[in-house]
Amino acid sequence: LARSQEQLRYDELVSNILEEEDDVVACHRQQIEDNMALVQEEMGLLTQVEMPGGSVEQYVVSLDSVLLRKIETVNRLRQRLADFQQ
């Protein structure tokens, strides 16, 4: 009976580790998807600012917002990696 309880604890530990690994990979995948969407938004900003009459002031404000969101997505992923490493 004691052996089977040890085996159950071991199996649970392995299962938890696998879930954590899957979560890290999913978090990375989400960060990539978020970043791709933000890059597309940046490309749109470039297109707008390069058009005749494009507002550089609006471009700068919008670009800053996009860059802040990029930083947030990277920081979320980095935090998840740090949590995993502990």
Taking only the tens place, the pLDDT of each residue in 25-63 is 999 999 999 999 999 999 999 999 999 999 999 999 999
For residue 62, the number of C-alpha atoms closer than 13 Å in the C-beta half-sphere is 18
Rounded CA separation 75/18 (Å): 23
The answer to whether the beta carbons of residues 37 and 5 sit under 8 Å apart is no
Q: What is the DSSP letter of 52?
A: T
Record the tokens describing residue 81, joined without a space.
């990696």
> How much is the mean pLDDT over the chain?
95
Q: Is 55 helix (H, G, I), strand (E, B) or coil?
A: coil
